[in-house]
Chains A and B, each alone.
Chain A
Amino acid sequence: MKRILFLLALCASLCVTAADAPPAQAPAAHNNVKLWQDARVGQPQFTTVRGVETGVLIQSNGETWRELRNGPMTLYGGILFCVVLGAIAVFYKLRGAIKLKAPMTGRLIPRFSYFERTVHWSMAGSFVILALSGLNMLFGKHLLLPLFGHSLFSWLAALCKNLHNFVGPLFLCSIVVAFFLFVKDNIWRASDWQWIRTAGGLISGGHVPSWRFNFGEKAWFWFGLVLIGLTISISGFVLDFPNFEQGRNIMQTANIVHVVFALMFICMSLGHIYIGTIGMEGALDAMRTGYVDETWAREHHELWFEEQQHKMSQPGAVPASGAPAAQS
């Protein structure tokens, strides 16, 4: 009997020491610091409430997002936007519009097909809607809200948000089509070196021969349309469709990427819009009517012009249908 009792006591003590052995089981402090520190890491815990990330007690990265968005992104984004606008205004004041040197011949050659123009303008239209509504989301609170008051501004912001969400996918569609449409004319050519060396003759006014698109247009194509366009679309889709149950982390990151790239995109587009409208004589006509004057083609895209002339002189060449016959 004594022996049994002894064995039992031994077992019990063994159990106790065994239980005490792993450091994790050390007598818990009253304040479970580890537990609370882990709560801030943002790992999902147990909860009966169904939904996305309902098990995350504290998601700390939102604070980072807030600091970035309300701080540098708004401030430097606004400064960048104003500086670019100002730079373009100064450039226009100093350099003026780039005029044609020789008189127009009146002979027109086709530059953009009807389909190309449709794609361009749907891209441009959706871009402008997206840019304005997006700028409103970031700066509207600081610029328009004091002017409009809360009720009217929220009405405008709701309109902007819905436009932004629905036009966004349309923009992606148009840039995908535009990519395939224009990519073959945006491939690097040897003449681009000359354009880079002379900065396109933008400042000097010198002449740089180029193919259908010069290097400036190619840069806008590859950096703007392809790189930024895709980045912005992907990050935008993450934000636009919350029904794929993506968490807050990825949405915060997507928002930062989206805003930073969008601001760069808008600033680049200002340059594109400037040179395509008031900055250069005859540039807008190319995209509006699809035809350019021979003088314009020779002065801005000489190599392309010669190529077109060569094609036209081939026997059996048919002028593009719908070409306005001999313009006055």
Chain B
Amino acid sequence: MSKPVVHIANLSLKYQHKPVFQGLNWTINRYEHWLICGTSGSGKTSLAKAIAGLPHSYGNIEIAFNPDSDLPATVHYVANWFQFKDLEGQSNFYYQQRYNKQSAETTATVKAELESFGKKHALQLNEVESILAALGFSELKDSTLIQLSSGEHKKLQLVKALWLKPQLLILDLPYNGLDTLSRKNLNTLLEEVSNAGTQLILISNETELPSCINRNAEIKEGKLVEVSADERSWNEIEVSDKAVPTFLTEAAPTPSYSEIIRMIDVNISYGEKHVLKNINWEVKTGEKWVLQGHNGSGKSTLLSLICGDHPQAYANNFHLFGNKRGSGESIWEIKERIGLISPELHWYFDPSATVWQSIVSGFYDSSGLFCDPGYSKKAQTDELISYFGLDEYKNTLMNELPLGKQRLALLARTIVKNPELLILDEPCQGLDQQQTKHFNRLVDELCKNGTTLIYVGHFESQLPNCIEHRILLENGAVKSVGTTIERFESVENFEYN
């Protein structure tokens, strides 16, 4: 028996001054590929970062690389979050920026980014091509970093890791934001690198996993407990039966328009690149829609038009809330009626605001709070914070919270004003299964009172029940529009062109 690859003895870990693990012991032997699951905030990311040598931890982590392996003797950590900088070293972006053309040239291209990564780690450029192709990324090589969607940023991180083939690869929520086919292909790629000698630690609560995973563990109450594959405890889902705050179930006054959205031949392009092509779409008041399409199909761009975030809205023929866009309305009048969550909104959100401030800011559609909200808004916010179980984090800064808790706070922000139109773009990214189920039930509850819904989700099992219409995008065009009776049959069959 060879030496264990990772040996952890009596490790104590803190997250923001609070103990996460005390006296943790864990051994990873050669040929083992671990799955680590656990609820949001259980300490998965802290442990992963400790093994990767990132944060302050006390105790002993020994990593014995295989001297006979050709693979780089290194631990590579793919974070659940991504970070990039512009060409001047700044990372000071706002989420609408990727829709501005003049912003595009201020960040590096994907190609340049990959070249510099390859150079740093002495990798062969030709080896990356097949990985790019498998993840549907080849066409994005000339895109700049600012133009990538969150799913595409995730893929770029994965491409780098798979290209590097380190001896130990830690992937933290790698499936977040990936479409169905990309997930499948990622699993195949992971199986390939594991065959070639890379050992995996996969942090995920998903069920579709690479077949090489041969050990399973769950983090629960500060302990790492090994479980068998069937025992992964995500099946025991209890959904809390807390009553939805009453201010969220009040029916909105009937609006004077019957269509919330009417798009006529909407086109968006950046130079030669057509991102949306002749989109025709009507959403009537009170309808519940799911918007689907693979990564890069144009979903985020379509939603950005509706939210008043896209400068090219002014050159297109479309109506929002009964007014033609660009007829003298301000984007704040539009945003006032919309509750929005998206991966991009989360990514660019002001991390220096407290949970409480972040949630109240939903009344003003701002990133951070800039005024005194007054008594009733404060009271509603407090009620919602309790409903989401965030009381103890009320005054905590967003960037001091784990991803899942940040997401819960932003979901509370999305609904706090009980908006006419909910736009939920992969709202449950980073949440565990119980939280996802719980949130979707809440969405069902909210939608009973005439709220209009547009929901983006890749998986049928993770959608709220109230959805009745579906629009499918492919390469920037509408592939199909229909009701969910003829449901989802083609979703699994996407191909990249």
Judge: A and B partners, yes or no. no
Show the binding face of A for B, using Cβ within 8 Å: none
